[in-house]
Chains A and B, each alone.
Chain A
């Protein structure tokens, strides 16, 4: 059997699995994972890998809205992450001696990132393709340089240290409940606690986005991506729909940034380099643009793979460290050669990436038609 046939069959098989199976299966694995650590089978470092992977899952889900759904390439996405992270750091650290409640800080961080998304989105969204990519790239750099230079606010390159751990309840309630037993979970300061906190946030985000994807707005985004002119003729207000997608994705990045600041205790401009934006773009592309399970898988694979390679080297680890990133790169190259549409592709994107046998194409067209018919019935 030729390699292409293998990959084709794998694609066909993955396409047949209902999406809900992925969702439930993924969630169960994610929930069980820390229990393995508590049982002593998995080391704590993997929990930290898990937290970072989940944060990047959020980022990829957010970027997927603009890139996968609306088809706007954003190369400065990490800037919104930075907005969220710095908002949190300023409101919950010894820098200004503030310790605002966790929920307020998280929501405010997301809102500020959304405002930033609105401000950058308004003038730039009339650009398309490469031009938009360049402007967003510049935006990312401007934000990073501003953070580096605004030393009175951000401590510049030294970063903000000693960010307080999130408290899920107020100080008074905390005192009366004590800090032992289940009450210890009210102050999030251990890797496993962060893990579950971020997992809940990721799950909520994923559900919201998948609902959005199947809503009127989601279809408007897809229509704009496929053919803007046709979409506008069909009555979609392009500027409003695009702006909404940019603002929403910025909000998710700000949310993730806030959690990142809490988790890492310290933030500095080094965490918001252009390279990080590129990695998030890679996660979306590798996982499968427009596909929520794909994007989640892409983020986990890209974040966890270097660690997996490290552990796979076993006793040879110390000698192996230098080659780790090289092998990581080779694996990505191989993946992109064989599955340009991503690991778990969206149906539409999959058809774009592959030349499909005409009979097969007819079948999918038919099934899509059936789908549309079915939905019409529902709407009526």
Chain B
């Protein structure tokens, strides 16, 4: 009966842990409730804003950073006055696990909750199944981290994003390659959504200008690229645009140099702009002259970044997480649109988002009202951004330096 007792003990302790966990959680909740209750007296009206992110699943750090960024924004813009009434935002944070099926349930929950707008979701794949639900129920959605060009292929007017569409970099890479005088270009992706999207846009841009292209691909995690190198050698290009990530890019470059293709211009997107790239190419000599673009202005060029990062570190005791400032801006832009609309009617907010111009941490931006080439509807439109001034970097002396 020892066996039985151990099982009972194990189960009881699990139940106790569970109960304590619940108690702890509801305990904090009661506190926050108390705080809001104190302020809801009088003419303060509570409005709900949804946060659809992925707190569990493959990218919990990205999800937590998004939530942190939005919570900071609520502190700064969450209480505002409109027509003599004070409104206070209450966040409805729901986890979609970055899964498409769960995302649909979360989106429907947001609709049921009666949110005036949603910040999210975190990943392109999960967003795809949420977009039709928000569009049908007329709820504006602003994502701070969905960079995939596949999002909003249907061009609905409820989807917006404050981060750059990956397509911006795809075009920038193509333009840069042509500036460098390339007439034959190899495009290589790693079969991931991000890399394929980038390579597709770059390929279209190059072909439209009459540049001859060859498409190659590999799998994330590949170590041997001899087949691709042989194809590249046969094609004899001036440049190769590798749109995947640095581990494969480094090895590809190394194997190209070994095959005598060191003179071919090697370029990539922000997936290869990593300090580790140099080691992965097998040494400084191999890495020298690799070009990379970046999908956003560098932090030192983001006007509000210094103040934002100081506040973030003070509040959370850690460095700014990925896309936290874009999410902060997404919330700020939503509130700006509500104020501009002068109403909590979601139709009016959607209308306002078409014209709102917002000065945020990442810069001053508005949203695209129509799809145009690689630009999708609802994409962030950054003043003065052209394919030619997307941040450019080159490896010099073993590290990436900015190209002016």
Q: Is the CB of B25 within 8 A of A319?
A: yes
A361 within 8 A of B: no
Q: Is the CB of A151 within 8 A of B196?
A: yes
B132 within 8 A of A: yes
Q: Which of B240-272 contact A (CB under 8 A)?
A: none
Q: Which of A11-56 contact B (CB under 8 A)?
A: 43-45, 47-49, 52
Query: For chain A, what secondary structure do more than half of its interface residues adopt (helix, strand, loop), or is it mixed?
Result: helix
Query: For chain B, what secondary structure do more than half of its interface residues adopt (helix, strand, loop), or is it mixed?
Result: helix
Query: Cα distance A155–B125 when bound, in Å?
Result: 13
* B112 partner, pick from A44, A151, A264, A320, beta carbons under 8 A: A44
- A contacts with B, residue count (CB < 8 A): 51
Identify which of B11-19, B38-46, B201-209 touches chain A: B11-19
Query: Cα distance A280–B125 when bound, in Å?
Result: 21
Query: Cα distance A53–B153 when bound, in Å?
Result: 29
A156 within 8 A of B: yes
B101 within 8 A of A: yes
Minimum CB distance partner of B4 in chain A? A4
Q: A271-B101, A319-B29, A334-B11 are in contact. Are A45 and B108 (CB under 8 A)?
A: yes
Minimum CB distance partner of B108 in chain A? A45
* B109 partner, pick from A2, A3, A45, A264, beta carbons under 8 A: A45
Q: Is the CB of A316 within 8 A of B150?
A: no
Q: Is the CB of B92 within 8 A of A318?
A: yes
Query: Cα distance A159–B111 when bound, in Å?
Result: 25
Q: A330-B14, A333-B14 are in contact. Are A157 and B111 (CB under 8 A)?
A: no
* B91 partner, pick from A45, A151, A318, A334, beta carbons under 8 A: A318
Q: Is the CB of B33 within 8 A of A315?
A: yes
Chain A residues, CB < 8 A from B21: 323, 326-327
Query: Cα distance A2–B56 when bound, in Å?
Result: 37
Q: Which of B128-186 contact A (CB under 8 A)?
A: 128-129, 132, 148, 150, 153-154
* A338 partner, pick from B11, B33, B109, beta carbons under 8 A: B11
Q: Is the CB of B8 within 8 A of A44?
A: no
Minimum CB distance partner of A307 in chain B? B105
Q: Is the CB of B104 within 8 A of A324?
A: no
Known: A45-B112, A319-B28. 19 other contacts (CB 8 A): A3-B8, A45-B111, A52-B101, A149-B191, A260-B101, A270-B99, A271-B99, A307-B105, A310-B94, A313-B26, A315-B33, A317-B94, A318-B92, A321-B55, A321-B94, A323-B25, A334-B14, A334-B15, A338-B7
Closest 6 CB pairs of A and B: A316-B29, A157-B193, A43-B112, A318-B93, A45-B109, A158-B150
Q: Could you list some 28 contacts between A and B, CB below 8 A? A: A3-B4, A44-B111, A44-B112, A45-B106, A45-B109, A47-B108, A48-B105, A48-B108, A52-B105, A156-B193, A158-B148, A161-B154, A268-B128, A270-B126, A307-B105, A310-B94, A313-B29, A315-B29, A316-B26, A316-B28, A317-B94, A318-B91, A322-B56, A323-B21, A324-B95, A325-B97, A338-B7, A338-B11
